[in-house]
Amino acid sequence: MEAFATRGYNNASLAEISERVGLTQAGVLHYFPSKADLLTGVLDLRDASDLEELGEDRPRGTAFLRHLVDTVRRNTAREGIVRLYAVLSAESVTEGHPAQAFFRSRYEGLRAMLTEALDEARDLGEVPGGLDSATVAASVIAVMDGLQVQWLLAPDTVDMAAAAEQAISRLVGVDLAPRDAV
């Protein structure tokens, strides 16, 4: 994770990664047949840890929005993972990048999950009825990703969690319930 996060996919070498994990290059390639497979494994591990924290049942309605803010708060203690995501998601827009399909799928899944939560919140009367859930979902994700980059560049200046909470609240038109109320 650290090699990809600090050097990017193209600049991180298998030799460097092998040395970091205490294996030969052949040893790493035994577990991951290619550097692209290793990258996908790292990204899958990152998402698995986030899904594990979420549990089997995701929060519904605005409770899911609160969960997003709480995730941002937890991310302030996981700088390496945040950097990995920021670097590789940006790199993945280049032609032929091995993580492009992963990030396309991930963003599609995030938008769908957030759109569903916003529709639930609307149906529960927690947010205004005229909300365009799909557009708000894409906007929330953009805000969260942009805040990660700003925080990585100025961690003492940018309060990711506070900024995410304020932006999400403004996008959906309601204040989020306090953390201890959900």
Asked if 76 and 35 count as a contact pair (C-beta separation under 8 A), the reply is no
Is there a domain that residue 44 lies in?
yes
pTM of the model: 0.81
pLDDT attached to residue 182: 44
Q: List average pLDDT for each run of 10 residues in the chain, which is 182 residues long.
A: 79 90 91 85 74 71 92 88 86 90 92 95 92 96 96 96 96 77 45
Total domains present in the chain: 1
Q: List helix spans (H) across 93-132.
A: 100-123
List CB contacts of 4: < 8 A, sequence separation 6 or more: 12, 39, 42, 84, 87, 88
User: Which residue type does 156 have?
Assistant: D
DSSP for residue 180:
G
Residue 65: per-residue pLDDT = 94
Helices (H), the chain: 2-11, 14-21, 25-31, 35-54, 62-75, 79-91, 100-123, 133-153, 160-172
Q: Give a yes or no: residue 91 inside a domain.
A: yes
Q: Identify whether 182 is part of a domain.
A: no
Q: What is the pLDDT of residue 146?
A: 96
Q: Is residue 12 part of a domain?
A: no
Q: What is the reported pLDDT for 180?
A: 52
In this prediction, residue 161 carries a pLDDT of: 95
Residue 104 lies in a domain: yes
Q: What is the pLDDT of residue 53?
A: 65
Structural domain includes residue 147: yes
Flag whether 15 is in a domain.
Answer: no
- C-alpha to C-alpha distance for 59 and 91, rounded to whole angstroms: 31
Residue 26 lies in a domain: no
Tell me the CATH number at 80.
Answer: 1.10.357
Structural domain including 45 reads: 36-177
Residue that the structure tokens 């035994």 belong to = 30
DSSP state at residue 31 = H
